[in-house]
Amino acid sequence: MTTASTSQVRQNYHQDSEAAINRQINLELYASYVYLSMSYYFDRDDVALKNFAKYFLHQSHEEREHAEKLMKLQNQRGGRIFLQDIKKPDYDDWERNFTAIMSGDLTTIMSGD
């Protein structure tokens, strides 16, 4: 593995800003991953809520676009992109949360039980 070379365009770009942008990139990619999981949960044959699936797939793409824009910014400013592993979503089966949303029981969702 090679070390990152010093950028020729970097000027007045603090390392803390670069690190914060990298953290945000990873958060955007995680959000995209969660929305993708939700989309394909709602697309399953036993759930079959196609409009929910379509909505969450759109949200997933939007979050990924945010990450891509931040990566472009990082390159334009002379920063370096350091991606982290994307954490697995906390849920694989979104039924419990979906049921709580549909019943208006936000305390169930917020408690994480």
Q: What is the DSSP string of 38-69?
A: HHHHHTSTTT--HHHHHHHHHHHHHHHHHHHH
> Please, is 70 exposed, middle or buried when counting C-beta atoms within 10 Å of its C-beta (0-12, 13-18, 19+)?
buried
**Cα-based distances in Å from 12 to 16, 78, 82:** 11, 10, 19
95 is in an annotated binding site: no
68 is in an annotated binding site: no
Question: What does the alpha-carbon distance between residue 24 and residue 30 come to, in Å, rounded to a whole number?
Answer: 10
18 is in an annotated binding site: no
Q: Residues at the annotated binding site for Fe cation? A: 28, 63, 66
Binding site residues, as ranges? 28, 63, 66
